[in-house]
Amino acid sequence: MSIANETVQYLRDNALLVTTAESCTAGKIVMLLSEVEGSGQFIECGYVVYSPQAKQRLLHVSPQTIETFNLTSVEVAREMARGALRDSTANVAVATTGILGPDDIDGIPAGTICFAWAFQLDGACYVYSHEHRFSGGRCEVQEQATEYALQRLPHYHRRAQRGEPDQAP
């Protein structure tokens, strides 16, 4: 079974409705999910936000967070995920921001992707984040990041169900 099929089944089994806030994956997470028949019942919307201004305007990412931590940071990814949930009926958000390559930017190595998963459960918002470095060309990194974001969703959802806090900022 493909990661998209597994994820849609997980969303179905757990009554989850997803939204995405994607920068470096450029909408590929929601696109991959949408390829699964019946997935429309479990996708609320997807934001593609490349520029800092779009992240601020559409997802309410703080300019101070961007200035302090950089666009490629778990802090920005966390605010993106929270922002995607804020104006949505979804109860789970997946966010990505990073550097596909081929060049490093601001001392951050190419292939560095920051992820966040946010869950709205029983009136509480649980946010988890992780930074991972992938290898390969731009398209390979983008594909790996897309699949990774979906692979980790069940793990973080189970942590949210247990009320576990994130260890990251």
Threshold 0.85, pTM exceeds? yes
Domain at 3-162, CATH class: alpha beta
107-128 pLDDT per residue, tens:
999 999 999 999 999 999 999 9
8-63 pLDDT per residue, tens:
999 999 999 999 999 999 999 999 999 999 999 999 999 999 999 999 999 999 99
- What are the domain boundaries of the chain? 3-162
Tell which residue, 94, 118, 119, 78, has the closest CA to residue 33: 94
